[in-house]
Amino acid sequence: MADQHESIDLGGPTVDSSAAARHSWFPSPPPPIYSCTLTPELVAKAREELQEKPEWRLRDVQALRDMILKEQPNLRTRLDDAFLLRFLRARKFDYDRALQLLLNYHAGRKAWPEVFQDLKPSTVKRVLDLGFLTVLPRPDPNGRYILCLRPGKWKPNDYPFVDNVRAIYLTLEKLIQPEETQVNGIVILADYTGVGMSQASNPGPFLAKKVVSILQDGFPIRIKAVNIINEPRIFKGIFAIIKPFLKEKMAERYILHGSDLRSLHRNIPRSVLPEEYGGTAGQLDMSAWSRLLLDCEEEFVVEFCQPDPLEGVVLPESMLFEGEQASGHDDDTFRGLRSQLYYCY
């Protein structure tokens, strides 16, 4: 067992404390040597919703660590307490499901090199500068940070769609660091203003399936609601591409508001929304989150710009991410959905 420890990275990237100080509005991750940062209220919430027992927390982490070392001894993954806790919390401390999620997490990187190769904030600066996404500075009353997406800001001639996926993934990696997010989850607010045929038809069902698969089964985050606003008529076609790949529980968390801000405010209070969405939290600031990510460049270099963590690992055939070949069925589906998009448009 000692030899296995020597070949595996037990720790994670060093967090720049000066960068954390410059962005004090966003909580810091747990310290390098794990010490719980949850408030008593969040400890109680984690116990009730995630089956997390504080007195057994580190025992559970060690059990998952032992499973990894026994069943996947060649997997080059972080094994520190804080990192493994993300997967346990995301799967309500079910060891087997947490291990499967961890394997999916790494398999996603291997299956999609266009997204994960050389993944760092500087490579998506144009996505950030364009205003495609941000994180609102105030969490909602349930402590959930709000990821704001504006797909209408992107045009296919600007850059490949996968760059948007890269920016989203980096944002999720940063969001999941604080323990608060691991317990509370996040909310997505997607503003479809300006989305037309070129954006709607660009990803296609195979790409959409990969994005959904990573978010549902390959990343340790709890997406509690997806609020869609200002969706155009063609959104019915867009959602038709996505919905077949959504689990029932996730599909039920999609809320379509149209241009009805009062409907939005029933789900996200005005106090945390910017003026652009009828809120009272000032104007929408797209730059604060961009600066936070760009200041964490070295942290992401350590995390993602390293050798393939799955090299030498034999994964079961039933793994979530099975390769790059789209089936003929996907092609047929895309042709039908593309016709539907044109009809809606």
Proportion of the chain above pLDDT 70, given as a percent: 80
| Least confident among 28-37, 63-72, 219-228, 256-265 | 28-37
Q: Judge whether 192 and 233 are in contact, CB under 8 Å.
A: no
Q: Judge whether 42 and 27 are in contact, CB under 8 Å.
A: no
Higher pLDDT, 200 or 166: 166
Higher pLDDT, 170 or 198: 170
The amino acid at 329: H
- Over residues 283-319, the pLDDT tens digits come to 999 999 999 999 999 999 888 776 555 555 555 544 4
How confident is the model at residue 10, as a pLDDT?
A: 53
- Which residues contact residue 235 at a Cβ distance below 8 angstroms, ignoring those fewer than 6 apart? 192, 195, 200, 228, 256, 344
pLDDT higher than threshold 60 for residue 327? no
- Over residues 120-145, the pLDDT tens digits come to 999 999 999 999 999 999 999 999 99
What number of CA atoms fall less than 13 Å from residue 63's CA on the CB side? 13
Q: With CA atoms as reference, report the closest residue to 24 among 292, 238, 244, 232.
A: 292
How confident is the model at residue 288, as a pLDDT?
A: 95
How confident is the model at residue 329, as a pLDDT?
A: 45
pLDDT higher than threshold 50 for residue 333? no
Q: 227 — phi, psi (to 5°)? A: -95, 120
Q: Judge whether 120 and 297 are in contact, CB under 8 Å.
A: yes
Number of H helices, E strands in the chain: 18, 5
How confident is the model at residue 309, as a pLDDT?
A: 53
Q: Rounded CA gap, 70 and 74, in Å?
A: 10
